[in-house]
């Protein structure tokens, strides 16, 4: 008599277990369907079309089509309509996003100090120009008859005088259709010497520094990109191409101009050109410079061009600003640019002439640069020596 009861209990247990699995499966299926976003959006970029678009929901286009990860960035991107604007002093202003991040990320206090500081102010993207006490030194706008074909927008830091001077004396020197600008934060710094007077003199001497009043630290490099895009829209909207590069890059400017002028129009309109990484993942080593906690971001990075140097079409500046208002902040400037391009449905184009991990032992031979457009990093001394060798009319390989 006890066997039939055992069989009955076992049958009931199996029924309950099957019901539980079915409920979990249907719940996950509903979550997956809800997270896919509009059905007319594609999960990846559309390199065939140079025309940017911004769908109503960006999560699917940014590659998140499965179950929604619990990481803060992924959750924010799914919910985000647009980042808060306004001054930080206003109620619900830009610092509200950072305060919410600190409150909602369970292990926020364990994050490195630099990452915590970035997140607390990551939505604050409106900063006034930095000017010396005299109020002079504003960079001139592009005039109607002097709009550059190629703008060299070089990210620098206030104390890197030698790097900037090396660029001026080499690949960033005066050339038809080319203009040079350096992108910097405040020279007043934090915990270091006040470089205000030196930077003010430099800008008075050369008039090529775009200065903003924010703390110039590595995680604020994205601010330089976004403020440059806004400056372009107001002061230089007709520029054809913009090279965004680090101040330790070396560019064969004539060769780059020749390459850009030979591009098919369909490529040039949506151009995002450089050394492209397509399989990059977040690094989880806590003390590393590119550390990304699991609680902040899960998934793969989009295809992106290395921040050492890449070229974009000038016409995309207002589009990229629109995308940046709807892409959740990310600490690395080149990854964030890749996210914004992917949000627009545009893909980067890889060029073998962009080398942003240049080995120091190959710098001595100028012939190694024969087929390259940009290399990084190079010291100021090596940049000047190499430029002189390449400019020598008797130089041969």
Comparing 56-60, 309-313, 335-339, the range with the smallest average pLDDT is: 56-60
**3-state class of 218 per DSSP?**
helix
Q: Beta-carbon neighbour count of residue 300 at 10 Å?
A: 11
pLDDT at 11: 54
pLDDT by residue (tens digit) across 12-24? 544 444 444 333 3
pLDDT band at 288 (very low <50, low <70, confident <90, very high): confident
pLDDT by residue (tens digit) across 96-155? 889 999 999 999 999 999 999 999 999 999 999 998 765 556 788 987 778 999 999 999
User: How far is 224 from 21, CA to CA, in rounded Å?
Assistant: 50
With CA atoms as reference, report the closest residue to 54 among 67, 71, 75, 40.
Answer: 40
pLDDT at 137: 62
Give the angle 191-120-318 at the CA atoms, nearest 5°. 105
Average model confidence (pLDDT) across the chain: 85
With CA atoms as reference, report the closest residue to 331 among 105, 70, 118, 58.
Answer: 118
Secondary structure letter of residue 385 according to DSSP: H
Contact status, residue 354 vs residue 371, Cβ threshold 8 Å:
no
Peptide bond before 331: cis, by omega within 30 degrees of 0? no
Contact status, residue 176 vs residue 90, Cβ threshold 8 Å:
no
User: How far is 74 from 59, CA to CA, in rounded Å?
Assistant: 8
* Helical spans, DSSP H, in the chain: 2-35, 72-79, 95-104, 113-120, 161-169, 196-206, 221-235, 253-261, 265-268, 317-324, 333-343, 380-391
β-bridge mates for residue 355, sequence order: 375
pLDDT by residue (tens digit) across 217-271? 999 999 999 999 999 999 999 999 999 999 999 999 999 999 999 999 989 999 9
Integer distance in angstroms from the first to the last C-alpha of the chain? 97
pTM here is 0.85
| Sequence-separated (6 or more) residues with CB below 8 Å from residue 22 | none
Backbone angles phi, psi at 17, to 5 degrees: -65, -45
Q: CA torsion sign, 254 to 255 to 259 to 262?
A: positive
Q: What is the fold, at CATH topology level, of the domain defined by 150-280+312-324+331-338+347-391?
A: Spore Coat Polysaccharide Biosynthesis Protein SpsA; Chain A (3.90.550)
Q: CA torsion sign, 226 to 358 to 165 to 206?
A: negative
Whether residue 89 has pLDDT greater than 50? no
List Cα–Cα distances, 288 to 281, 284, 326, in angstroms: 14, 8, 28
pLDDT by residue (tens digit) across 189-198? 777 889 999 9
Secondary structure letter of residue 189 according to DSSP: -
Q: Which helix (H) or strand (E) holds 307?
A: strand 304-313
Burial of residue 4 (CB within 10 Å: 0-12, 13-18, 19+) is exposed
Provide mean pLDDT across the span 303-318: 98
pLDDT at 93: 74
């Amino acid at each position: 008599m006890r066997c039939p009861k055992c069989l009955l209990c076992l049958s009931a247990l199996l029924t309950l277990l099957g019901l539980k699995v079915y409920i979990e499966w249907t719940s996950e299926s509903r979550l997956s369907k809800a997270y896919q976003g509009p059905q007319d959006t594609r999960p990846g970029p559309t390199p065939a079309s140079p025309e940017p678009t911004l769908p109503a929901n960006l999560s699917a286009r940014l590659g998140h089509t499965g179950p929604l990860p619990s990481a803060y960035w992924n959750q924010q991107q799914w919910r985000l309509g647009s980042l808060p604007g306004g001054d930080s002093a206003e109620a619900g202003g830009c610092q509200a996003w950072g305060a919410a991040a600190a409150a909602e990320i369970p292990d926020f206090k364990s994050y490195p100090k630099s990452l915590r500081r970035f997140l607390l102010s990551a939505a604050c993207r409106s900063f006034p120009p930095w000017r010396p006490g005299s109020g002079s030194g504003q960079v001139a706008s592009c005039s109607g008859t002097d709009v550059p074909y190629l703008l060299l927008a070089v990210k620098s830091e206030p104390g890197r005088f030698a790097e900037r001077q090396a660029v001026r004396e080499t690949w960033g020197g005066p050339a038809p259709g080319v203009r040079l600008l350096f992108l910097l934060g405040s020279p007043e710094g934090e915990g270091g010497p006040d470089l205000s007077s030196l930077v003010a003199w430099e800008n008075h001497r050369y008039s090529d520094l775009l200065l903003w009043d924010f703390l110039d630290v590595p995680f604020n490099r994205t601010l330089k990109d976004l403020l440059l895009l806004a400056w372009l829209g107001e002061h230089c909207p007709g520029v054809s191409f913009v090279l965004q590069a680090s101040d330790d890059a070396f560019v064969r400017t004539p060769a780059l101009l020749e390459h850009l002028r030979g591009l098919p129009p369909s490529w040039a309109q949506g151009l995002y050109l450089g050394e492209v990484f397509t399989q990059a993942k977040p690094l989880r080593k806590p003390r590393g410079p590119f550390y990304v906690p699991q609680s902040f971001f899960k998934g793969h990075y989009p295809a992106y061009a290395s921040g050492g140097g890449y070229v974009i079409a000038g016409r995309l500046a207002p589009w990229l600003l629109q995308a940046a208002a709807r892409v959740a902040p990310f600490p690395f400037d080149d990854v964030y640019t890749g996210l914004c391009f992917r949000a627009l449905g545009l893909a980067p184009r890889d060029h073998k002439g962009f080398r942003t991990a240049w080995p120091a032992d190959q710098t001595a031979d100028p012939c190694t640069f024969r087929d390259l457009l940009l290399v990084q990093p190079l010291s100021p001394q090596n940049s000047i020596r190499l430029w002189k060798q390449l400019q020598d009319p008797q130089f041969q390989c």
